[in-house]
Each structure stands twice: as C-alpha cells, then as structure tokens.
Amino acid sequence: MTIVLGYDPVTLREQVDQEALELRLAELGNGRSREILNERVGLLRLAGRLDEALDVANQALREARFGGDRQELVLARMRRAEVQQSLGKLDAALVELSDCVAEARSHDWPIAQAFALQHHGMVQFELGQFAAAARDFREAAAVRVRIKAPAEQVDISMLALSVAESLAASGS
C-alpha cells in the first residue's frame, strides 16, 4: 500500500493517498512498540494531525532514550523535527536537524545522515534559503547514491536539489 504518492514539484511537500493513510493508522491502532510509534508519527504528520503527531513523537523520543540506542535516538529526534517543521517551528526544527546531521556524521551513520540532511534542506527551503537547501539536498543525494539507497530516496533528493537550485538561480 502506497501512502506517499509523490512530491509537489513546487513546495516539495508529500502528496498523500488519504484513504490509504487512514487505513494504515487504523491498522496500527494504539500500539506502543518503538516501530509503531515511529510510523504513527509520520502518518499523523501526513494526516495533518500535528498536535497528536508531536505527542507521539515525544513519546517515541522517550522510548528511544530509555532504549539506549543512540542511532534510534537520532532518528526519533529527526521525526520530531519533521513535526516541528510542519507546525511552523522552523528554527527549532533547524537546530534539531543540525545536531542530528552532526551526530550522524560523527558516528558514520549514513542512512541517518542522509535523512537528516534531506530534512534540514526542507527546512532551509521553507525559510527561503534556497542555496543552503540545495547544498543539503546535494549532500543527501550523494550519501544516498554512495550507500545504494532505494531509487525513490535518491529521486526525491534530486528533485529537491533541482527545485532549490532553480529558485536560488532566479533569486526567488
């Protein structure tokens, strides 16, 4: 079941199959496992249920802290930053994602690094800092290519890079 159908070529926001999204949320129910919490954060964000998404993101972050896995903690922080971005808390999201990029780099966690760079770029993009966003998208794409990430992840990085570079060049 595909929930994210693609990305808007202007805003770079996800285009979502709402019916599939709601069906998946119902399937997950109120499970408390780390995997379910993490998936619910993303789905609730995509559904626009941002206050609920933030509550679940904070719960997932607490679970990751108790679990002791630093990489899982970084991933949980990134998901919370995505919700902050959707809530318009761009400065908070940018700080959180900057820290996540640095930590992922220092520990050589390329999957986390690419994810953090992509979303750091998305926040830069929303702030109208298109050249900075393009740098993040370029680096995210390079990491994804290097680690042989799924084609759709490379494709979204390349789409975002193209849009950001175009806007930076036009002075928008």
**CA separation for the pair 134, 5 (Å, rounded):** 23
* Whole-number pLDDT of residue 1: 66
Closest alpha carbon to 90 in 133, 124, 129, 136: 124
* Whole-number pLDDT of residue 10: 87
The residue extents of the domains of the chain are: 4-170
The pTM assigned to this predicted structure is 0.92
* Whole-number pLDDT of residue 143: 98
φ/ψ bin of 50: left (φ > 0), alpha (ψ from -120 to 50), beta (otherwise): alpha
- Regions in the chain scoring below 50 on pLDDT: none
* Whole-number pLDDT of residue 37: 93
**CA separation for the pair 38, 76 (Å, rounded):** 7
**CA separation for the pair 121, 171 (Å, rounded):** 17
The domain covering 4-170 belongs, at the CATH homologous superfamily level, to Tetratricopeptide repeat domain (1.25.40.10)
Tell me, what amino acid is at 10?
V
* Whole-number pLDDT of residue 57: 96
Return the structure tokens found at 160: 């975002």
Cα distances from 67 to residues 44, 62, 63, in angstroms, run 23, 9, 6
**CA separation for the pair 10, 44 (Å, rounded):** 23
* Whole-number pLDDT of residue 31: 83
For residues 34 and 15, the answer to whether their CB atoms sit within 8 Å is no
Q: What angle do CA 28, 85, 41 make, to 5 degrees?
A: 10
| Tens-digit pLDDT profile for residues 118-128 | 999 999 999 99
Q: How many CB atoms lie within 10 A of CB 55?
A: 14
**CA separation for the pair 16, 40 (Å, rounded):** 15
* DSSP-assigned letters across all residues of 1-67: ---EEEE-TTT-PEEE-HHHHHHHHHHHTT--SHHHHHHHHHHHHHHT-HHHHHHHHHHHHHHHHHH
